[in-house]
Amino acid sequence: MNTLPARQNGNGGSRAQQLAVGALALGLFLLGLFTLRHFLGALAWAGIFAIALWPTYGRVVARFGTGRHNLLLPTVFTLGVALLFIVPLGLVGLQLARESATANDWLRDVQENGIAEPEFLEHLPFGRAQVDDWWQQNLGNPGSAKELVQRTTRGHVAGVSRIIGEQVVRRLTSFVFTLLTLFFLFKEGHALTEQMRRVATRAFGSGGERIGQQIIASVHGTVNGLVLVGLGEGVLLGIVYAIAGVPNATVLAVLTAIAAMIPFGAPVIFSIATLLLVAQGSFAWAIVVFCTGMAVTLAADHFVRPVLIGGTTKLPFIWVLLGILGGVEAWGLIGLFIGPAIMAALILLWREWAGEGRV
């Protein structure tokens, strides 16, 4: 007669302890997020790089082994990711440094001699006299040009320089933390993968592991479809820029590659290149650059990317596109990868709940 109440109390105490442990775990999790809130972006980028490079890393490990302390290959792969960013940014930085010196010389010349009227304005079909009068009064006259330069730059250069300096320091710190995290993900990746698989199975059953696999497949496809295709567009159009004689072709090629990672983003950059050629009077080359840019962009966005991104996750490209654009809107640049991953997981759940069975 006394054993049943004892068991009930024991069970009640066990349930209370489970609730307490769950509340404690949730509280610690939220505290951890709050503590790392400024580094969550770096952690997410490290995870994306690790997922994208893990197949290659696994093949290299299978071929050469990890070594006694498993330090060489994680270091090599981490340095490779660092160079992938440092080399292009270094080239752009050197070019911008040269351009800043040229810009300072140009500003001094403008204050002394005014701004010369562009040659293409002489060929306007109408309004030529009015444009010429306005230009000479506001820009061609040294006094007016000097006043315009001083009014435009007064008090802004120091403020802009301070903001740029703060952003550079912040981004550099985040980048170093990303590389440090990436090194440990490579080093401990196998153990961490197994732990995450067990946690997902215990928390959500077999569905948790399937969702995780779908998210990883989405990241792989997105990296191939956005990053690699974007780099390809940047290289191809950069060659066209150089042949056409576009000013600062290297900088524009890098900007094209970055913009091309977002669907329909490359036209903004090659349109600027087209306008630069028009300003130089190279109308034929401007047409070539614009038509080539449109052809490359259409081929990449309508044929190559749907296969690379949607093919790995069986995800219709409309959902891929919505995930990319919505992810960028909500999360910034990292949303390029988070958005499609979320859409892939949602579509997986929808298909299973709609009765199509496991995907």
Residue with tokens 């890098």: 254
- Rounded (5°) CA angle 244-250-252: 80
Which residues are CB-contacts of 313 (< 8 A; sequence separation ≥ 6)? Answer: 214, 217, 218, 221, 340, 344, 347
* Cβ-based neighbours of 148, under 8 Å, separated by 6 or more: 138, 139
Q: Are 306 and 300 contacting, i.e. CB atoms less than 8 angstroms apart?
A: no
Where exactly are the structural domains of the chain?
39-187, 206-359
Per DSSP, the three-state class of 2 is coil
Q: pLDDT by residue for the chain (359 residues), tens digit each?
A: 444 444 444 444 578 888 888 888 889 989 998 998 888 888 888 888 898 888 889 899 888 887 777 888 899 999 988 887 777 666 666 666 666 666 666 666 666 666 666 666 666 666 666 766 766 666 666 666 556 656 555 545 555 556 666 666 777 888 889 999 999 999 888 888 888 888 878 777 777 778 888 888 888 888 877 888 888 899 999 999 999 988 888 888 888 988 888 777 889 999 999 988 887 878 889 999 999 999 999 888 878 877 777 776 677 778 878 888 888 888 887 888 888 888 888 888 888 787 755 54
Rounded-to-10 torsion of CA 213, 214, 220, 222: -160
Q: Residue holding tokens 């974007």? A: 230
The amino acid occupying position 12 is: G
What confidence score (pLDDT) does residue 164 get?
63
Q: What is the pLDDT of residue 6?
A: 45
Cα separation values, 261 from 6, 7, 46, 131, Å = 64, 61, 18, 39
Give ∠ CA 197-219-181 in degrees, rounded to 5.
70
DSSP-based three-state secondary structure for 175: helix
- Within 10 Å of residue 224's Cβ, how many Cβ atoms? 18
C-alpha distances (whole Å) from 17 to each of 9, 27, 204 are 12, 15, 21
Q: Which residue, among 283, 298, 294, has the nearest Cα to 245 in the 3D structure?
A: 283
Tokens of 304: 């190559």
What is the predicted pLDDT for the residue at 7? Answer: 46
Instruction: Tell me which long-range contacts 270-273 makes (C-beta under 8 A, separation of at least 24).
Output: 270/237, 270/297, 273/237, 273/241, 273/244, 273/246
| Concatenated DSSP letters of 287-346 | HHHHHHHHHHHHHIIIIIHIIIIIHHHT--HHHHHHHHHHHHHHHGGGHHHHHHHHHHHH
Helix/strand/coil (H, E, C) string of 205-252? CHHHHHHHHHHHHHHHHHHHHHHHHHHHHHHHHHHHHHHHCCCCHHHH
